[in-house]
């Protein structure tokens, strides 16, 4: 297994046949170590079935479902994220996956099925590098803070689209706002990362509205500093695997009206602390 870093802050290209890797406990262990070291891994030219992709996700832990996305028939853990001219993707902001949950997913795997000729890249940022880059005084300030995360905030454009509220009403009711620490510690590596994002985080607790707005905007901007980011151009068969506890990502929505279809599995995580 060859691992070539994509950037100093995060990311690595891994040369590997994941179908073969599924049969080797040793290789799967090395893949998990690489994820811990690089936070996001890119594996090109894979030919897994949806079932095998689900199996790959299960090697990282128990799988989760998502309240807003359909799944592949016969592979209930595999969500389909599809953007078409009729139903374009509405998620454009930087985020870590599903921070609106009490226990957001630890790891996400995305597998490109249909990708645009050009465009439709994804960016990742190291929320760990962003935390480490803060001055000690600001680190002390944010270390003790908590933030509110809200599903309805993240999906507000979908909710406002025709039929959106009817489709997502149950999901909104089942996902009331939650709070998480602004700085979370990775349970395996001990790495500290900023854990607020513009998609789901609505405010910082214990601050005034204007303090919260200003500090939240500053922290979100810090995370996405160019030096902390890496960018992937998808090809059919590309698989990305990332740690939601130390990274954020942003889909680049520059390909309308082209078709994009991805498989996703999300691996259950712990309560952020
Ligand atoms: Fe996401």
Residue 272 domain-assigned?
Answer: no
Question: Rounded to an integer, what distance in angstroms lies between the CA atom of residue 200 and that of residue 93?
Answer: 9
Question: Rounded to an integer, what distance in angstroms lies between the CA atom of residue 113 and that of residue 116?
Answer: 10
What is the model's pLDDT at position 165? Answer: 87
In the annotation, is 156 catalytic?
no
Domain around 242: 2-267
Q: How far is the CA of 137 from the centre of ligand 1 (A)?
A: 31
Give the total number of structural domains in the chain: 1
Which tens digit of pLDDT belongs to each residue from 161-217? 889 889 888 989 999 999 999 999 999 999 999 999 999 999 999 999 999 999 999
Average of per-residue pLDDT values in the chain:
96
Question: Rounded to an integer, what distance in angstroms lies between the CA atom of residue 119 and that of residue 135?
Answer: 36
Residue 273 domain-assigned?
Answer: no
Q: How far is the CA of 219 from the centre of ligand 1 (A)?
A: 19
Residue 185 domain-assigned?
Answer: yes
Question: Rounded to an integer, what distance in angstroms lies between the CA atom of residue 243 and that of residue 40?
Answer: 6
Q: Are 242 and 40 in contact (CB under 8 A)?
A: yes
Q: How far is the CA of 262 from the centre of ligand 1 (A)?
A: 12
Question: Rounded to an integer, what distance in angstroms lies between the CA atom of residue 190 and that of residue 271?
Answer: 15
Residue 21 domain-assigned?
Answer: yes
Residue 31 pLDDT class (50, 70, 90 cuts): very high
Residue 66 domain-assigned?
Answer: yes
In the annotation, is 254 catalytic?
no
In the annotation, is 19 catalytic?
no
Question: Rounded to an integer, what distance in angstroms lies between the CA atom of residue 93 and that of residue 187?
Answer: 26
Residue 239 pLDDT class (50, 70, 90 cuts): very high
In the annotation, is 38 catalytic?
no
Residue 134 domain-assigned?
Answer: yes
* CATH number reported for the structural domain that contains residue 51 in this entry: 3.60.130.10
Residue 27 domain-assigned?
Answer: yes
Query: Average pLDDT, stretch 11-37?
Result: 97
Active-site position among 39, 97, 101, 150: 97
Residue 154 domain-assigned?
Answer: yes
Question: Rounded to an integer, what distance in angstroms lies between the CA atom of residue 77 and that of residue 109?
Answer: 11
């Amino acid at each position: 297994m060859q691992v070539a870093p994509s950037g100093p802050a995060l990311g690595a290209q891994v040369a590997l046949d994941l179908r073969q890797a599924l049969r080797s406990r040793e290789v799967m262990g090395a893949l998990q170590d690489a994820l811990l070291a690089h936070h996001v891994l890119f594996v090109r030219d894979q030919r897994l079935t949806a079932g095998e992709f689900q199996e790959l996700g299960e090697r990282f832990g128990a799988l989760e479902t998502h309240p807003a996305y359909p799944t592949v028939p016969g592979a209930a853990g595999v969500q389909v994220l599809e953007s078409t001219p009729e139903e374009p993707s509405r998620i454009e902001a930087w985020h870590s996956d599903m921070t609106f949950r009490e226990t957001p997913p630890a790891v996400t795997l995305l597998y490109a099925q249909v990708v645009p000729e050009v465009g439709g890249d994804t960016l990742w940022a190291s929320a760990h590098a962003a935390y480490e880059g803060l001055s000690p005084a600001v680190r002390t300030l944010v270390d003790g803070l908590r933030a509110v995360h809200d599903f309805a905030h993240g999906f507000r454009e979908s909710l406002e689209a025709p039929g959106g509220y009817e489709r997502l009403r149950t999901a909104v009711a089942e996902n009331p706002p939650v709070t998480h620490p602004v700085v979370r510690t990775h349970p395996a590596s001990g790495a500290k990362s900023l854990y607020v994002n513009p998609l789901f985080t609505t405010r910082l607790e214990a601050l005034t509205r204007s303090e919260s707005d200003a500090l939240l905007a500053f922290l979100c901007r810090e995370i996405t500093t160019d030096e902390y980011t890496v960018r992937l151009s998808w090809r059919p068969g590309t698989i990305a695997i990332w740690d939601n506890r130390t990274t954020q990502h942003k889909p680049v929505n520059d390909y309308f009206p082209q078709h994009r279809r991805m498989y996703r599995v999300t691996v259950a995580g712990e309560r952020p602390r």
